[in-house]
Amino acid sequence: MKPSDPLSLPESLLLRLQDSKHVLVLTGAGMSAESGIATFRDAQTGLWARFRPEELATPQAFAAHPARVWSWYEERRHTVREAEPHAGHVALVEMEKMVPRLSIVTQNVDALHQRSGSGSVIELHGNIMRSICHLTSRPIDEEWLENSPDCPPRSPWARDGLARPDVVWFGESLPAEAMNSAMNAAVNCDFCFSIGTTSLVQPAASLPLLAVENGAILIEINPQETPLSLHANHCLRTSASEALTALLHQWKTRVQDHKPGAG
Q: How many CA atoms lie within 13 A of 216 on its CB side?
A: 27
Is 149 within 8 Å of 122 (Cβ atoms)? no
Residues at the contact surface with ligand OAD, assessed by CB under 6 A: 28-30, 33-34, 39-42, 46, 57, 107, 125, 168, 196-198, 201, 221-224, 226, 239-240
CB of 259 to ligand OAD, least distance (A): 32
For residue 144, CA distances in Å to 62, 147, 154, 208, 213 come to: 20, 5, 9, 40, 46
**Cβ nearer to ligand OAD, comparing 57 with 190:** 57
CB of 256 to ligand OAD, least distance (A): 27
Distance of alpha carbon 114 from alpha carbon 122, whole angstroms: 10
Q: How many CA atoms lie within 13 A of 89 on its CB side?
A: 25
Active site members: 125
**Cβ nearer to ligand OAD, comparing 42 with 55:** 42
CB of 129 to ligand OAD, least distance (A): 15
Angle between helices 11-18 and 240-257 (to 10 degrees): 80
**Cβ nearer to ligand OAD, comparing 148 with 181:** 181
